[in-house]
Amino acid sequence: MINVPAYDRVDGRPDFDTVYTRCPRCGVVATGGATYQPAPDGDIDPSRDLELTCQLAGHRYTAPVAAILPRDATSTCRRPGCGHTYPVPAGADEVVCPACRLHQDGPARTTNPGRREHHRQIYGAYMDGVRAQLRTLRDRDPGRGARLFSDPDR
């Protein structure tokens, strides 16, 4: 039997803003978009892999349920008026407040300044790829591209 680390539930379903994994391509620890095969009770089926998307770089990957990281630290939301304290992995780079859904720095990013620069580079490379894809689409249909882009060097 696989022991599934704790996560929160919303309307009886897993709240993937509270499910943390490490992206195997860039090493970022964060929540991510997920697709999963539910067990009969609607919970995560531990015998099936999760299909995840890295929040920072858009990497898509598959991970076993055992890859869900335990929430062994806490974070307090920095949004004025929220201040909710919630459990997160100690190694999380980015966390999401389950009360207000604000994405914010996690414990690993706040205790290791080098992580912020590493993440800036990862995200910058990801956005360079997105911009290249958009330029390709613009060039295929110049009329549409002119409507989407006011500056072709963006």
Domain that holds residue 83: 9-107
- Backbone phi and psi for residue 103, each to the nearest 5 degrees, phi listed first: -80, 135
Report if residue 33 sits inside a domain.
Answer: yes
CA 98 → CA 83, 85, 103, 117, distances in Å?
11, 9, 10, 26
133 and 103 within one domain: no
Report if residue 3 sits inside a domain.
Answer: no
Report if residue 2 sits inside a domain.
Answer: no
pLDDT per residue as tens digits for the range 6-26:
677 777 677 777 888 999 999
Report if residue 51 sits inside a domain.
Answer: yes
89 and 22 within one domain: yes
CA distance 129 to 55: 15
83 and 33 within one domain: yes
Helices and strands of the chain, counted as H and E runs:
3, 10
pTM of the model: 0.76
Report if residue 1 sits inside a domain.
Answer: no
Structural domain total, the chain: 2
Structural tokens at position 112: 């290791």
Distance of CA 81 to the CA centre of its chain: 24
pLDDT per residue as tens digits for the range 52-80:
999 888 899 999 988 889 889 999 999 99
